[in-house]
Chain A
Amino acid sequence: DAGVIQSPRHEVTEMGQEVTLRCKPISGHNSLFWYRQTMMRGLELLIYFNNNVPIDDSGMPEDRFSAKMPNASFSTLKIQPSEPRDSAVYFCASSLVLRLGGSSYNEQFFGPGTRLTVL
């Protein structure tokens, strides 16, 4: 089975340019998450969607960041304009969230990540 697919795997761009990261979640999953990983701050949740609807974007650093999920099989994270401090590895993860008998099952599966370098 295909896991979470992300593209591109690597992106090098110049400050001020627009960057678009793409994610295809695992088929049948109902939640999608965008994370950023840096040495200094570890893994940070940027935004997550449930059934294609953005639920919590409190982790989005600033207005330069935006994310969309037009359908259940595709999501984008856009940075415009990009800055050197945006350099990081960006991960997309998806899960099939189930609530059964008072328990919440939320096993998130990660993609391989996009390593972004902004010069």
Chain B
Amino acid sequence: GQQLNQSPQSMFIQEGEDVSMNCTSSSIFNTWLWYKQDPGEGPVLLIALYKAGELTSNGRLTAQFGITRKDSFLNISASIPSDVGIYFCAGQPDNAGNMLTFGGGTRLMVKP
């Protein structure tokens, strides 16, 4: 099946620092989505990307759809304590129907 490699697996940073995480695939994806999951809750959609090279922002979050269509990154600027959580990338491969493949997640911890 499809594989999504998400890195890093975890990050422990100081409040105010910028954060970067990424996902890579061996296959081409036509959609990239980034989610955040808080403890005890379901993943919440942060950003959706649909075109190679697309760069999209949502407040302090910025995500890009890699030009090769095999990768995506998510940046968080000036992190704050409420950014704590697990961030997941998800991609929809070509010819996969409506199925998404999820990365393993990046656990973000922010020290005030």
* Residues from 65 to 112 in B contacting A, C-beta threshold 8 Å: 88, 90, 92, 97-100, 102, 104-105
Give A53-76 as 1s and 0s: 1 = Cβ < 8 Å from B's Cβ atoms. Answer: 001100000000000000000000
Which residues of the other chain, B, contact A113 by a CB distance below 8 angstroms?
A: 40-42
How many interface contacts (CB-CB < 8 Å) are there between A and B? 60
How far apart are the CA atoms of A3 and B41 in the complex, in Å?
A: 13
A residues with CB within 8 A of B:
4, 31, 33, 42-43, 45, 48, 50, 55-56, 91, 93, 95, 97, 103-113
B residues with CB within 8 A of A:
30-31, 33, 35, 40-45, 48, 50-51, 88, 90, 92, 97-100, 102, 104-105
Determine whether the beta carbon of B42 is less than 8 Å from that of A56. no
How far apart are the CA atoms of A109 and B45 in the complex, in Å?
A: 7
Determine whether the beta carbon of B45 is less than 8 Å from that of A107. yes
Contact for A104 among B35, B90, B92, B104, CB less than 8 A? B92
Which residues of the other chain, A, contact B104 by a CB distance below 8 angstroms?
A: 42
Determine whether the beta carbon of A42 is less than 8 Å from that of B102. yes
Contact for A103 among B50, B90, B100, CB less than 8 A? B50
Contact for B98 among A95, A109, A110, CB less than 8 A? A95
Determine whether the beta carbon of A103 is less than 8 Å from that of B97. no
